[in-house]
Amino acid sequence: MYKLIDGKAVSASVKESIRKELAELKETKGLTAGLAVIIVGEDPASKVYVRNKKLACEACGFESFEYALPADTTQEELLNLINKLNNDDKVDGILCQLPLPKHLDEKLVINNISPKKDVDAFHPENVGQIMIGDYNYLPCTPAGVMELIASTGVEISGKECVVVGRSNIVGKPMAMLLLHQSGTVTICHSRTKDLAECCRRADILVAAVGVPNLITGDMVKEGAVVIDVGMNRLDNGKLCGDVEFETAKEKASYITPVPGGVGPMTIAMLMKNTLTSAKTKLK
């Protein structure tokens, strides 16, 4: 019998812990924490994400600085704003909501955010630190997945871990975090010869490719922990993940729903990274 991993509940617990810690540090040491979020253009999904981040800041006691820029913002204007925020002591974290309009260079934007304020952990310096296991920040979605796995009580050490997807934002860092906890990790992708066979070996299966219902129940090992990072909208308007939930739940010991699984954790871990950055002001 499977157990549902409630991302909303785990996320609420993480945010409450952050709120309490910041409140105590504010009272004893005068610490404040601030997150700046930049959004360029009118992408509806990005607007929802930004609104949710603002609500999370309020819940945690952070200051929230929102910069909504028009779609025709130039590269120079955007980089000037980032430079200003890099030098603003009230801002502990800087997040530039992706995707950006096509005329803007995402790589250049990421590289210009100070690694000390890069709470998304996308800057090459932070990515390198994750590789060697000596990091200040973790990418929010993989870090959230690790919290969800921890909430099950399942130990990662020695387990067969399969990550489906090799993106820089989720797949690659996800594999590294599992490896840091002594999991035996396989990364699958579009060129993997026998995806089903690889998945069937997994004690811990993380799907992060953005393909609706790619992982079916016959691809899941009996008793596996199944984490579905995917968020896809079907033609009928319904949301679904990369895992076919109804068939996979029959095999899984623990499984995340979509929505309400990994999604809430991403923002919770962003808050955690922002507090980590703010605390460096105490050193």
Active site residues: 53, 97, 120
Going by their DSSP bridges, the two strands 34-40 and 239-240 should be labelled as: unpaired
> From CA 276, how far away is CA 15, in angstroms rounded?
13
> From CA 217, how far away is CA 232, in angstroms rounded?
18
Strand order in the sheet with 184-188: 3-4, 254-255, 225-228, 204-207, 160-164, 184-188
Beta bridge partners of 185: 161
Maximum Cα interatomic distance, the chain, rounded to a whole number of Å: 57
Tell me the Cα Rg of the chain: 19
